[in-house]
Amino acid sequence: MLMFVVVGSGVSATKIKTYDYHYSLYPVSFDDEGGEISEQAIKAFKKMFSFATNENWFKVSDGYVVKFLHEGIQYRAGYDIKGRWINTVKSYDATKLSSDVKYRVRTDYSDFTIVFVEEVILPYDMGYVIHLENDDTIKKVLVMDMDSDIQVMESYRKK
């Protein structure tokens, strides 16, 4: 199940941590009878992501999710049931991560390789969920800004 994160100003790392990355999606298309996708969500999407092509819409219990690929970055944008934008998650490999965030992570985790990045954009804040790996361990860490400590969200030992 998708848990949208609805927040005001002063977003904490806890808000990003509550984002559930494993959810069930139910595909629907623009051609479905009954207009399953909110017109407001479509309008908000087209305004925010005018560059998007080949988007795929999904109805979820809390609203809608639209996915598309642009310049090697996978986008997932969430909208509530009334069609208001909630969040965007941009997923990409380490080569697309900004150099300052990459430096920050490599400073604290020099013995790890950055495997995958999820940039979580909320109405009033953003953060990076960075997937790291070395010979012994897999970690998922959270970077909220350059001044805060990097928080370990998950850590697993390889067998």
Number of other CB atoms surrounding residue 78 within 10 Å: 26
Please give the average per-residue pLDDT across 1-24, as a whole number: 39
Asked whether the predicted pLDDT for residue 3 surpasses 60, the reply is no
Q: Poorest-confidence range of 53-57, 68-72, 112-116, 121-125?
A: 121-125
User: Which residue bears the tokens 């407001």?
Assistant: 40
Name the residue with higher pLDDT: 21 or 131. Answer: 131
Whether 131 contacts 140, CB under 8 Å: yes
- The reported pLDDT for the residue numbered 25 is 41
Average pLDDT, the chain: 80
- The reported pLDDT for the residue numbered 90 is 95
- Here the tokens at position 132 are 């790291």
Residue 65 burial by CB count (10 A; 0-12/13-18/19+): exposed, middle or buried? buried
pLDDT digits (tens, 9 = 90+) for 53-107: 999 998 888 888 999 999 999 999 999 999 999 999 999 999 999 999 999 999 9
Q: How far is CA 103 from the centre of its chain?
A: 21
Name the residue with higher pLDDT: 32 or 8. Answer: 32
Reduce the DSSP state of residue 105 to 3 states and report it.
Answer: helix
pTM for this predicted structure: 0.77
- The reported pLDDT for the residue numbered 21 is 38
- The reported pLDDT for the residue numbered 22 is 34
Please give the average per-residue pLDDT across 39-58, as a whole number: 92
How far is the C-alpha of 16 from the C-alpha of 125, rounded, in Å?
Answer: 10
How far is the C-alpha of 17 from the C-alpha of 153, rounded, in Å?
Answer: 7
How far is the C-alpha of 18 from the C-alpha of 9, rounded, in Å?
Answer: 16
- Here the tokens at position 80 are 């509530």
Q: What is the set of domains in the chain, with CATH numbers? A: 13-90 (no CATH), 94-157 (3.10.450)
Enumerate the β-bridge partners of residue 74.
69, 91
